[in-house]
Structure 1
Amino acid sequence: MARFRKFLGVIIVASSSIVIPVIFPSPAAAQTSVEAVCLGAGEETYTPGLTNEKRAVTTVTAAETTCAPPGGSPAKVASFRFSYTFERSCTDTKFGGGNLPIDWGSGETSTVNFGAITVRAVGAAREVLLLGTMIDGMFQGAAVAIKLTLLAADFVACGTSDGVGSATGPAAIAVNRIL
């Protein structure tokens, strides 16, 4: 067991077509606790449409998920909706950063601070990944991974002047506390 303490631990949360890695320090560095795993649906809308040419695009990212806290605690609902404007295109792999508010459906909220939004093309889909830390509210101080797998048949519209107006798909939120 001692030989494994040198490696970075990884938890994989999977549900049908979405897999989200949650990375945490090895047991030698710190102990961790999974606080919540949330699965549901997400959507992004783009104004003007997302094209292959870089331009200022206002993106609204939203998701509705149901969370399964460990230990049999009652399930929670987690939702978020935030808007941002960055120079971006269909071919971007990383951009922006900022704060994302999460509503836990019980009157409790949190804010995730993330350094960048990472996008990866997987066939016709786009995986959007935000890694950050809860800076206030519920789960303050916990590490957070948010992933949307956007399945838009019209990502081929990236090559048109109108571009892609929206995309939807599965969403996941993983909250992991370093003890």
Structure 2
Amino acid sequence: MLGGAPDLEVVGEAADGSEVERLVGQHAPDVVLMDIRMPTVDGLAATETLRARPQPPEVIVLTTFNTDAHVLRALREGAAGFILKDTPPEDIVEAVRKVAAGEPVLSPAVTHQLIAQVSSGVGRDARGTRAREQLAALGDREREVAVAVGQGKSNAEIATELHLSVPTVKTHVSRILTKLHLNNRVQIALLAHDAGTS
């Protein structure tokens, strides 16, 4: 499927999560398409390991949604998004292109369902307190942008809503990522949700 895309090169394939770190070290891919369910080391543990590396590759998590409650943790660990296993092949190829270009791959509707499914679990109150403290460290405009990201809005939608230019919104997003030591806007959205703002 990926081999048929002229602008993508498949540099390695792991049969097990325990092979992922070695292959990434050997081939230095831009994007890793990670299945959550693998023998020995699952995709969640492999994602955590990869995102802890210096200059880590972007990770897209493959999930079956209804059964993979752990995908939220993968997003918290810095995965750039997730796609469902029954996604049409051309959409999976496009997801790899988007993530390679720095865009997260998330459907806002599915993301909100997934967050709601998992966020009712243990540790929710502690996460909420931590998230509110982190948001409090932002400036007023940065906080407004973070909340809008948590609502699944694009940079263009945020710009219109807050009467800003798109480059200004991008600057705010970059500052939020830096200040809060986050990897991508997915993590901003999760933080906003944990804080109860989205």
Q: Under TM normalisation by the shorter chain, which class is it?
A: under 0.3
**Could you say which structure has the greater relative contact order, defined with CA pairs below 8 angstroms and 6 or more residues apart?**
1
More helix by share: 2
More strand by share: 1
TM-score under structure 2 normalisation?
0.21
TM-score (norm 1): 0.22
